[in-house]
Amino acid sequence: PGERYDQWNLIHEGGIRVVVGARSAVFAPVDNLGIIIIDEEHENSYKSEITPRYHARDVARQRCIMERAVLLYGSATPSVDTYYRAENGLIGLVEMTERPNDAVLPSVELVDMRRELEDGNRSAFSRRLNEELAKNIGSKQQTVLFLNRRGYASFVLCRKCGYVLRCSSCNISLTYHSSSNRLICHYCGFTVRNPEFCPRCRSNYIRQFGTGTQRIEEELLRQFPDSTVIRMDMDTTGYKNSHEEILRSFREKNINIMIGTQMIAKGHDFPNVTLVGVLAADSMLNMGDYLASERTFQLITQVAGRAGRGQLPGRVIIQSYNTEDFSILSACKHDYASFYKQEIRIREQLNYPPFTNIAVIILSGTVDRDVFEKTKRVRESIVKCLKQQDTDAQIMDVTRAPLSKIRNRYRLRMIIKCGSMDKLINVMTAVLDEYYRNNGKSNIDISMDINPFNML
């Protein structure tokens, strides 16, 4: 905080002409603003998940209008919302048809993991990926493997009685971490030692299921014992400068293979990386919201772009149990236009942004019945406000949030679709004012977010 305050003062005093920063930099007190550049504008980190729930992209747009400045978005995989605005002439569009330094796009191969299983391969690596890994290790070229799931195993189950070990505070399955031999809740941080016996039936048929980055690391070292492997995920980057140390080690070519979650897809330049493997590409399609296909296309395309950035050509192997989905197929062809064409048609048919706006309202509390009753009353208030605003808005029934319990708080959700942003904001403001006026310091929390990235 002290360092940020010092930088803020320098900017305010006019001593800084160029400001580079993350989301909050959009508020920097720059005089005589000329341009705001939002690089990788599709990134969900530009959207604040806590109050105030602003999107830096929207703040930048309003600030540039007010201060008569230029706004420039940059992305190899633009958000559907932004590309829609460009297609409809609301903003200009400049396309780069070639990679920097005349680099050639990597070749991409899609492997059907259903066939691998039918042929008796139960490994996390397809035979084709195994072949290419061996080639890369032998030729001292580097490899990036992407799996968007940290930990060792995604859940622990008793094979005798079917009991799944869950966090008592969040009702979420606990993730096994082999380095500490502990089960961890990734939502509240609860941790417990991995049991030898089932807590329900006391059998010893406890097994870990699912695959995380730790298990991939273990399997790699077992299959390629002479290789050097580094892992980049939330578990290995928790201390100061850890990101930089991992990236520097890999960039200096001391490491054969880097395994990581989505943080390895964020624009890193590794000239010696010639092979990228995407594991479980279709797992991202099952996130339970309308942005799943967009995120899948973006992540596959971004991580594939780490291959072949130097003098040597790149190869990408994408493993999936779903080889028919258009977002995966479009990513395999480096074809944003094809992806956008199909995605925008689906959004229009189902009335999702950019054809409307979505508000997600979540109420949470420690007594399930009280939360349900309060949520019903809030819904009645919303319905009344929507009628007063004379909108064509739709409000869905009260349901349990996909993450129905976090930190011992039960969570219920409502979703509103409304074409007019102004009317939606008016409704949300009126409902929030009424809620706090009637409830004061209630033990039931309410949160509202418009066009959220996370609908869980």
pLDDT of residue 238: 78
Q: What is the DSSP string of 308-353?
A: T-SSS--EEEEEES----HHHHHHHTT-HHHHHHHHHHHHHHHT-T
State the average pLDDT over residues 368-396: 91
Per-residue pLDDT reduced to its tens digit, 299-310: 999 999 999 888
Check pLDDT > 80 for residue 287: no
Measured from the Cβ of residue 186, the count of other Cβ atoms closer than 10 Å reads: 17
Burial of 306 (0-12, 13-18, 19+ CB in 10 A): buried
List, in sequence order, every residue forming a beta bridge with 158; answer none if it has no partner: 206
User: Hey, what are 240's tokens?
Assistant: 């100061």
Spatial neighbors of 202 by CB under 8 A, at least 6 apart, are none
Rounded mean pLDDT, 237-250: 86
The confidence band for 179, taking pLDDT boundaries of 50, 70 and 90, is: confident
* 441 band by pLDDT with thresholds 50, 70 and 90: confident
Taking the C-alpha atoms of residue 426 and residue 424, their distance in angstroms, rounded to an integer, is 5
Buried b / exposed e along 170-179 (16+ C-beta atoms within 10 A) = bbbbbbbbbe
Please give the full DSSP string across 254-266, using - where no structure is assigned: --SEEEESGGGGS
Output the pLDDT for position 269: 85
> 1 falls in which pLDDT band (50, 70, 90)?
low
99-115: per-residue pLDDT in tens? 777 778 999 999 999 99
Q: Outline where 119-212 has alpha helix (H).
A: 127-138
User: What crossing angle do the helices spanning 336-350 and 292-304 adopt, rounded to 10°?
Assistant: 170
Q: In the prediction, which pLDDT does 227 show?
A: 92
Among left, alpha and beta (phi > 0; psi -120 to 50; other), residue 340 is: alpha
| Whether CATH 3.40.50.300 fits 2-74 | yes
Q: How confident is the model at residue 374 (pLDDT cuts 50, 70, 90)?
A: very high
pLDDT reported for residue 266:
79
Position 232 scores a pLDDT of: 92
pLDDT by residue (tens digit) across 77-90?
Answer: 999 999 999 999 99
Q: Beta strand 191-193 with 182-184: parallel, antiparallel or unpaired?
A: antiparallel
Name the CATH superfamily, with its identifier, for domain 357-450: Poly(A) polymerase predicted RNA binding domain (3.30.70.590)
Considering the domain delimited by 101-149+214-347, tell me its CATH architecture.
Answer: 3-Layer(aba) Sandwich (3.40)
Q: Residue written as tokens 């293979």?
A: 257
Instruction: Return the pLDDT at 243.
Output: 86
In this predicted model, what pLDDT tens digit does every residue of 159-177 receive, in sequence order?
A: 999 999 999 899 889 999 9
For the chain, which residues make up each domain, given as ranges? 2-74, 101-149+214-347, 155-209, 357-450
Could you give the angle at which helices 80-87 and 336-350 cross, rounded to 10 degrees?
90
When pLDDT is averaged across residues 314-334 and rounded to a whole number, the result is: 96
pLDDT of residue 119 exceeding 70: yes
Top mean pLDDT of 204-218, 311-325, 382-396 is at 311-325
Question: Given this chain, do its domains 2-74 and 101-149+214-347 carry the same CATH topology?
Answer: yes
pLDDT tens across 188-243, in order? Answer: 899 999 999 999 999 999 988 888 999 999 999 999 999 999 999 988 887 888 88
Q: Which two tokens stand for residue 452?
A: 């959220």
Write down the mean pLDDT value for the chain.
92
